[in-house]
Amino acid sequence: MTQNLDTTVLLALASDITHCSCARTIHEVHPALARQMQDEEDDALLPRLVVLLQDRPLIVCAAARDRFLAIVAGLASESEAARAQGMFSGEVPGLEGLRLPVNVVEDHVLCEGDPEVYVAVVGRLGEDTLSRAVFVTGWAMGVTTVTCNKAVVRRIRAAVARAGEGVVGPEMLIVGCARSLVGRPKATAG
């Protein structure tokens, strides 16, 4: 079954944290990154992602790909940037077993004839146009959206529950806690 990846999963697949290849120590990074490094040590995310996604067609909507690549362009270390490029062009070390490249699909735009519950979900997501694009695209295509974004999943489930009995929402799978890009070390004055 095809899996729709959101930006949080793309970041986790590219991150030096999940690939245990961070050149900096916990003491050299922002506390939030240090927490993620410790979380990764305690409960590695990458092996779970690879098992979940292996041998399945992988897609990403254009909005998620564009946001991911913008984050990579601004923050990624060389190894993270190489992994990000490889996800859309071919093989990536550490991601063997995944069907790469990830295929980019057009964002689903609400149109006449879409189920009313789509409108309810879009309203619940408010100004979060990226999440709207990711989750509604996966839903409209009938595929599972894989995410680390628990807050958005909660909002979508609440909107579907309010839509009434028998209304079926999108297939969503939450996989662990998000991982950030470690990024390039800051230049030191000297």
DSSP state of 60: E
pLDDT higher than threshold 60 for residue 188? no
| 105 vs 64: CA distance, rounded Å | 10
Bond prior to 185 in cis (omega within 30° of 0)? no
Q: How many Cβ atoms are within 10 Å of 91's Cβ, its own excluded?
A: 11
pLDDT higher than threshold 80 for residue 105? yes
pLDDT higher than threshold 80 for residue 37? no
pLDDT computed for residue 25 by the predictor: 60
Domain range 1-182, its CATH number among 3.40.50.1010, 3.40.190.10, 1.20.140.10, 1.10.260.30: 3.40.50.1010
DSSP state of 28: G
- Residue predicted with more confidence, 15 or 88: 88
pLDDT computed for residue 187 by the predictor: 53
Which sequence spans correspond to the domains of the chain?
Answer: 1-182
Give buried/exposed letters for 26-49 (b at 16+ CB in 10 A, else e).
Answer: eeebeeebeebbebbeeeebbeeb
Q: Round the average pLDDT of the chain to a whole number and report it.
A: 87
pLDDT computed for residue 189 by the predictor: 46
Q: Measure Cα distances from 2 to 56, 92, 138, 186 in Å.
A: 6, 19, 10, 39
Q: Poorest-confidence range of 37-41, 72-76, 161-165, 183-187?
A: 183-187
pLDDT higher than threshold 70 for residue 124? yes
3-state secondary structure of 47: helix
- What integer is the mean pLDDT of 118-147? 92
pLDDT higher than threshold 70 for residue 183? no
Beta bridge partners, 58, equal 3
Handedness of CA 33, 36, 38, 41 (dihedral sign): negative
How far is CA 176 from its chain centroid?
11
- What integer is the mean pLDDT of 35-39? 75
Q: Poorest-confidence range of 63-67, 137-141, 158-162?
A: 158-162
Backbone angles phi, psi at 92, to 5 degrees: -130, 125
